Amino acid sequence: MNAEEFRARLVLELRGEGIYDDRLLEAIERVPRDMFVPRPFQHQAWDNVALPIDCGQTISQPAVVARMTQALELDERMKVLEIGTGSGYQTSILSYLCRRVYTIERHRELLQQAESRLEALRRRNVTARLGDGSKGWPEQAPFERILVTAAAIDIPPRLSAQLSVGGVMVVPIGDDPENQRIVRVRRQEDGLDIDDLGPVKFVPLVSDRAAEPLSG
């Protein structure tokens, strides 16, 4: 199969797994996942599997990317905060679906790679920085949507505080990789509404002491 056929196969598979958002599926088809995958795994770039990247991290399984993105209920007017830029693959998909993406990555090497890819793809509505994602981006808050791509022990209070009223955060919860859940947090005037969206497996959200300092 050629690249176009691989992309079409993946989109068809995602539809079969309950992904119904046409804008999201179009974005997944447009973003060249092979650009975000290390050379030894290029032959698996369009498979529905997670793959290793640098710094001991992974590029998530497309089905997980799609589930979490769909749960955000995005529209093109929204400002989104992403915690964990990683390869930049998820960031790139978000950039097609909202007005502005702010993304934070704690590994300098990954951030530099992601910024290079996003520039090559001309995704000009993304602002990225190096730092501790658990602190969020207070000076840009509030955000209509927040996506966390690493597992927190519980709902991160600093991040939920940066949601606008009516805003949505999607975050994996659980300190045991074998018992993590995706939850959707909706901020209301009087507190948080929480929905369990099912099992998942992510690397842990690391904060403070292990994080690299913010870049200048």
C-alpha distance from residue 163 to each of 19, 30, 72, 81, 142 (Å): 25, 29, 12, 9, 5
Strand order in the sheet with 180-188: 126-130, 100-105, 79-83, 143-148, 163-173, 180-188, 191-200
User: Phi, psi (5° rounding) for residue 56?
Assistant: 70, 20
- Rounded to whole angstroms, how far apart are CA atoms 138 and 157? 12
Task: Find where tokens 């176009």 sit.
Answer: 4
What whole-number distance in Å separates Cα of residue 194 and Cα of residue 48? 28
**Catalytic residue (choose from 60, 92, 95, 134):** 60
The DSSP code sequence of 86-128 is: TTSHHHHHHHTTSSEEEEEES-HHHHHHHHHHHHHTT-TTEEE
CA–CA dist 202, 70 (Å, integer)? 18
Residue 60 designated active-site: yes
Active site (catalytic) residues: 60
